[in-house]
Amino acid sequence: MKQKLFGTSGIRMKAASLTDDFAYDLGRAVGTYSRDKAIVVGRDTRKSGPRLELGLISGILSTGKNVVLLGIVPTPVVGVAAMDHGTGVMITASHNPAEYNGFKFWGRQGAYDAEQEREIERIFYSKDFAQGKKGGITEESYIERYINLILSRVGPARRRVKIFLDCANGAGSVVTPMLLERMGCEVISVNTDTEGDFPHGLEPRAENLREICGMVKESGAEVGIVHDGDADRSAAIDHNGELIDWDSFLAVLAYGKDKVVTTVDASMRIEDVCRKVIRTPVGDVAVANAIVREHADFGGEPSGSYIFPEVHLFPDGPLTAAVVAKMVSEDRFYSVLAKIKVYPTERLKIPCDDGSKKKIMENLKGVLGSRKDVDYTDGIRISDEDGWILVRPSGTEPYMRITAEARDEVALKRIVELGRSWVSKAMS
C-alpha cells in the first residue's frame, strides 16, 4: 500500500525520510502538474532545507519549467509570490520539531486543496513525469513587495508601540522586525538567527514560551508576538507576561465582524463577538475556501492561524503581528480582550500511530451508537447545554486530539472523562 503523502497542511515527515530522490520526484510531479512557466520556491530555516531545495528545483527544472528562488522567507511570502507566478512550493514543517521538514503547495488562489494534492500524489507515484528542455533559475526577493502589501492594507501605527518579538530563529526573522519598524513601532527582537538552531519548541504554546513570557514582562513591552518556524502562525503575550489564550486571541481579531469562519475545534466564545459564525473542518484551506464561499470578513483557527481576506487568503504571522500592533496603537487591543468571556477548556493529545487513526474513528462511531447529537464535519463533535467535545485524528502528528469546552469546571471534567472513556474503548 502506497504511503499517503499529504496531511492537513501539505507534506510533513522526519527529514531523514525525505530523501534526495523523494524531493527530486516531487519537483518533477509539481513541474508536470503546473501549467505555469515558472514555479516559486521558498524555504524556512531548517538545516535540511537546502538539501531538499536542491532536489526539488532539480526535479522542477527537468520538466522544462523555470524556478523563481526566494531563499529563506515566511510561508505567506511564497503565497504572495504564487499569486503573481501561479505556482509555489514552500519547504517547511511549520511548527513541527527541528527533525521534521515538508512541502506545501500554492496556486494563485492560495494553498492547494485536497483535489490538487491528490493529483500531485498521483503523478508522484505514477512516475509519469513531463520532460523538457531544462529550465532556468532566477533569484527574486519578494520581501519588499510583501511588506508594502501589508502596509498598504494595515497602515502605520497610530502611535509608537513597544513590541517584543520572538521569531524563534525561524523564517519570520527576515520580515517581521522590519515590518513592525516600518509601521513606526519600537521593536525588541529576539531569536532572529537563520541558521536552523531553534531556541525552544516551535509550536507557540505556553510550555515552549515560559522564558519568553518572562522576557516580555521584564522588557516593559505593551505586547509580545511569537512566530512558529515558517511564520504562518502568531501567538500574543500580554504586557504582564501571560500568553493570551488561543481562542481569546482569535475572538479579539474577529471582534465585531459581521461574518467569521472558524473550525470545529474553536471555542464557543467566538459566537459571543460576531454576528454569524461558519464552522469548517480543521485546516487553513478549509477556512479559506469557506471565506470565499460565504463572503466572510475574517477567518482563523485556535492555533495561531489567521486569515484577513482584505489582504489575501492564507494564514500570515507577520500580517497578524501588524494587525495587533495597529490595534494596540489605537488602544483597542486590551479593551476588546477584556470583553471576551472565557469558558473552561481542555485540549489533550493521545499518542496514536497514523495507520490506526481511521480504524479508531470507525470504532468510535460504534462506541457512540445511534446518538443524534453527533456532528461529523471533521472528526466527531458532540454538544449539549453544558458544552461540547471534539475527537479527531491529528493531520500532522501521531496523535488523537480531544478538545472540550464547558460553561464551568465541573461540566468540563465530566465531558473530558467521557471523551477519554470513548477513545479508550475505541483504541482497545
Beta bridge partners of 382: 374, 389
At 254, the amino acid letter reads: A
- The H-or-E segment that residue 107 falls in is strand 100-107
Q: Residue 322 and residue 319: Cα distance in Å, rounded? A: 5
Other Cβ atoms less than 10 A from the Cβ of 142: the count is 23
Q: What are the grid coordinates assigned to 383, written together?
A: 454538544
What is the rounded CA–CA span in Å between residue 66 and residue 135?
A: 5
| Exposed/middle/buried for residue 341 (C-beta within 10 Å: 0-12, 13-18, 19+) | exposed
94 is catalytic: yes
Determine the angle formed by the axes of helices 75-85 and 143-154, rounding to 10 degrees: 100
Nearest residue to 76 (alpha-carbon basis) of 308, 397, 257, 275:
308
Residue 136 CA: distances (Å) to CA of 35, 58, 59, 141, 154: 16, 10, 12, 17, 36
Considering 9, 62, 94, 248, which one is annotated as catalytic?
94
How far is it, in rounded angstroms, from Cα 306 to Cα 107? 19
Angle at 365 between CA 364 and CA 369, to 5 degrees: 115
Distance CA 69, CA 140 (A): 6
Cα angle at 352 between 351 and 353, to 5 degrees? Answer: 130
Side chain identity at 192, as an amino acid letter?
T
Using DSSP, state whether 299 is helix, strand or coil.
Answer: strand
Query: Which residues, 6+ apart, have CB-to-CB distance to 421 below 8 Å?
Result: none
Cα distance between residue 272 and residue 276, in whole Å: 10
Place of cell 513541527: 96
Catalytic positions are 94
